[in-house]
Amino acid sequence: MELAYIPSPSHGVLYLGPVPLRAYAFCIIIGVFLAVWLGNKRWVARGGRPGTVADIAVWAVPFGLVGGRLYHVITDYELYFSPGRNWVDAFKVWEGGLGIWGAIALGAVGAWIGARRMGVALPAYADAVAPGIAFAQAVGRWGNWFNQELYGHETHLPWALHITSSEGGRVPGYYHPTFLYESLWCVGVGFLVIWADRRFKLGHGRAFALYVAAYCSGRAWIEYMRVDDAHHILGVRLNVWTAIVVFLLAVTYLVLSARRRPGREAVVERGVSDGSAEGEADAGDDSAEQADKADKAEKAEDGAKADLTKGDKAEKAEPEAAATEPDPESETETDAKAGLKDTAESGKKG
Q: How far apart are CA 211 and CA 247, in angstroms?
A: 10
In this predicted structure, what is the pLDDT of residue 79? 81
Q: Which amino acid is at 229?
A: D
Rounded Cα gap, residues 287 and 99, in angstroms: 58
Q: What mean pLDDT comes out for the span 156-170?
A: 89
CB 175 within 8 A of CB 5: no
- For the residues 176-182, what does the mean pLDDT come to? 96
Is the model more confident about 210 or about 350? 210
Q: What pLDDT sits at residue 284? A: 40
Reported pTM: 0.75
C-alpha–C-alpha distance, residues 139 and 236, integer Å: 27
CA 134 remoteness from chain centre: 16
Calpha distance 241→237 (Å, rounded): 7
Q: Kindly tell me if the per-residue pLDDT of 89 is higher than 90.
A: no
Please tell me the distance from the alpha carbon of residue 178 to that of residue 180, in angstroms, as a whole number: 5
pLDDT of 81 > 60? The answer is: yes
pLDDT in tens, 144-159: 999 999 899 999 999 9
Write down the pLDDT at residue 332.
45
* 44, containing H or E segment: helix 23-45
- Average pLDDT across the chain, whole number: 82
Report the distance separating Cα 203 and Cα 45, nearest Å: 13
Model confidence at 339, in pLDDT bands (50, 70, 90)?
very low
Higher-pLDDT residue of 101, 300: 101
Strand positions, DSSP E, the chain: 13-16, 19-22, 161-163, 173-175, 232-233, 236-237
Q: Is the pLDDT of residue 336 over 90?
A: no
* Pairing label, strands 173-175, 232-233: unpaired
Biggest alpha carbon–alpha carbon distance for the chain: 175
Going by pLDDT thresholds of 50, 70 and 90, the confidence category of residue 231 is: confident
Q: What is the mean pLDDT of residues 163-168?
A: 87
pLDDT at 62: 95
- The Cα–Cα gap between 300 and 302 comes to 5
